[in-house]
Each structure stands twice: as C-alpha cells, then as structure tokens.
Amino acid sequence: MKVNAEKERASLRCVKALASRGGVDAVSQQMASHPQYLESFLRTQHYILHMDGPLPLQYRHYIAIMAAARHHCGYLVSLHSAHFLRVGGDPLWLQGLEAVPPRLQHLDQLNKVLAHQPWLTARSHIQALLKTGEQCWSLAELVQAVVLLAHCHSLCSFVFGSGTDTDPVPLPRAPNGTPPGYCLCDAANGNVSVPQPLTSPSEHTTRRRVSVVCRTRLNMTSELFHNRSLPETTVAYEEEMIYSADPSRFITDPEFGYQEFARREEDHFQVFRVQDYSWEDHGFSLVNRLYSDIGHLLDDRFRSVTALPSSHGPDLKRATWNYIHCMLGIRYDDYDYGEVNQLLEKELKLYIKSVACYPDATKTPLCPLPWAPLKPSERIHVNLLIMEARLQAELLYALRAITQYMIA
C-alpha cells in the first residue's frame, strides 16, 4: 500500500509539472487528482485516436467532431478540428456535414440517437450502414466508429461538468515541427510535425505565448506514470493559431435531444435489462473480437473508476452509476432502486441528470454540486462516474444492435 501511495503521489506531481509547462491538455489537468484513472483514460484515448485500426486518422477526428458537436462542445470540436488538419484532413470538410463523403453523412443518424436517446438504437441503424455499396461501412470500421462516438459523447459530459469548455484550442504553426502543448498523445505518438494551416483566415486568430518544446519523445503511460524524470525541456516563443469551429455546422436536426425514457405500458420502448445483455458477458467479448484489444482498455477504465477511493463509500458510487443507467433505460434486476433516493440528494440527482443527459445545459452554473465541503478530487470523481456510466450505456445499446444484426 505504501508503494502504491508513493507511486500515485509521484504520478500526480508529474502530471502537475507537465501541466504547468503546457504539456497536458485541460481535460487531463482536471483528471490529475486521480492519476491511476488518468493513465487508463489516456491509454484508451490514445489507442482509438492514434493506434492501428480500420479507420483513417482523418475519419477518426472527424467522427470525434461530429460526436462533440451534438452537445455543442466547442472545446472538443476545436481540439479535433485542429487534429484533423494536422493529420492531413481536407479543410473543406470543416465547412460542415454537407462537404464530407456520404459514408460519414450516413453516420449522422446513429450519432444523433446514441448522443441523446440511445435506447432508440436498433438493428436497422446498423444494417443501413453496412449495406452493400460503394459508401458502406465494414463491420470493423463501424465498431471503431461506435467506440469513438460513445467516448466523445461521454467526454462532453466530463468537459462541461468540470468546466473545461472555456478556452479555445491552439493549433501551433512552428516551422521546425514543435509539438503542440495541449495534447500528450501527439508527443507519445511521435506526431511532432505540424502542417501549415489550410483553412480560411477568418477561422483563426493569432497570439504570442510561451510553449514547451520537448527534446525527448514521451512514452505516454510508462514515462509519465512510473516516477521517472520529466523530459528535458526548453522554452521557446512562437506564433500560435487558435482554431475555432462552430459546432452547429456538424449536426442535423438540432432540436433532437434527450427525453425522459418512456415508462408507460403503452409505450413500445423496452427496458434494457442487464441480465439479458451485459458488458461483462456480451459487450466486452464482441467489441474485443471486432476491434482488437479495445475491450481490455475499456474494461480497465470501468474498473479504474469504480475502484477510486471515496469518503462516501461504494454504495453511493453504485447508486450514482445505476441512476445514470436508469435514466438511459437500463435496469438491474438485483438492485433496490430505493437506495437511489436514500443516498442521492435531490440537488445531486439534478446535477447528475444534467451532466449525463444534456451536458451542454451545464455551461451555466444552474446545478452546482451540493456537497460542502467537497474536495476538488471528489468533485472530479463524481464527473468521472457520470462519464464512464454513460460511456458503458451507449456501448451496450450499440453493441446489442450489432449483435442483433449479426444473428439475424
């Protein structure tokens, strides 16, 4: 226990040191109070955005843009727009969905449903995307796209819940290939070459800032989280471009949003029972088979967040998780839902519902966390639970629909 505590303190010091030098993005800075979870989160995000997979890098970042735009998350839209350009994406695509290939346009319906009413996800959505034709998706591509959509939808909840959606995202333009200071994944992936901006001047503003130029290549998890020395750095001044994209250009049907899950007998929506289709018994094996290793990475995230220490005990964490799933139509037959009302105060339930179901509404401080005093790490802990519970819920609905398609 003493060794683990020392490692955690060293990891936290490392994250904070990098953050103070501009080497960690705003989301990672928020998560730094839980470094063991942060390691798991970064490893998964790095894998789906940068490592081997069926989707081209440009597609991955554009799908992330589409997902973040459903919640009007300017921070993530700008972040992935900058990344999209860095990996050689066509700047015309950033004009909106009408400018992208039809196969990406076809993904819009699944994106919309998963983001706001995931219980509507059906075999027909999967079948429409996988049908034969020049613009169809392969099953492997679609599974990676689903993981990206669910990851970014749930990350929007964390971004707004933790107040990260504030500053614009920088896109450096250094002639010597200086890595951007906002994303560990770039340094870890060796992506230190930044192309010249390709979009119109109206999309950008410039400013001067101090940035950190890493002389050594970061190994994202082993270097950062195992009490090793920080890479040697030097400070350099450079011109930096700020990419700002309007999220509304990447969505259709903007009025479509979260609605209360139907509970009346006359409604045709069926409760999703975990006993019939669960992550452990069904989702994990399917996603791991169709998208190698991602199941293990996602499972580690779920285990990491539930293992985080909390002064409020495991019962409250379980009540939070099950309450989020209940709002999304997922029920556990072996759980007494009376505990939700006993353990979660009314104000806290309002906050959880807002962040989980319509996170863009939290841009104004309508539902602050009611507990006082509450340590910053505990506040982040609640937001991490919301993010991971929502991520698993979306994955369950999408993977069940894929399973139904495969066995039909």
Peptide bond into 368 cis (omega under 30): no
Whether residue 208 is contained in a domain is answered as no
Which residues are registered as beta bridge partners of 235? Answer: 212
CA-CA distance, 65 to 71, in Å (whole number)?
A: 10
Which of 40-44, 338-342, 375-379 has the lowest average pLDDT? 375-379
CA angle 253, 107, 122 (to 5 degrees): 90
Whether residue 23 is contained in a domain is answered as no
**Overall number of domains in the chain:** 1
Model confidence at 156, pLDDT cuts 50, 70, 90, reads very high
Q: Is the pLDDT higher at 262 or at 169?
A: 262
The answer to whether residues 393 and 118 touch, using CB atoms and an 8 Å cutoff, is yes
Whether residue 193 is contained in a domain is answered as no
Secondary structure tally for the chain: helices H, strands E: 16, 5
Whether residue 365 is contained in a domain is answered as yes
What's residue 261's pLDDT?
79
Whether residue 10 is contained in a domain is answered as no
Q: Give the DSSP H or E segment for 37.
A: helix 35-50
Model confidence at 299, pLDDT cuts 50, 70, 90, reads very high
The percent of residues in the chain predicted with pLDDT above 70, rounded, is 69
Backbone torsions φ then ψ of 33, nearest 5 degrees: -70, -10
pTM of structure: 0.79
CA-CA distance, 35 to 393, in Å (whole number)?
A: 24
pLDDT in tens, 172-217: 333 333 333 333 333 333 343 333 333 443 444 433 332 333 323 3
Whether residue 129 is contained in a domain is answered as yes
Model confidence at 245, pLDDT cuts 50, 70, 90, reads confident
The one catalytic residue among 73, 183, 185, 357: 73
Q: Has 136 been annotated as catalytic? A: no
Whether residue 197 is contained in a domain is answered as no
Whether residue 236 is contained in a domain is answered as no
- Type of residue numbered 208: R
Domain range for 70 is 34-167+244-407
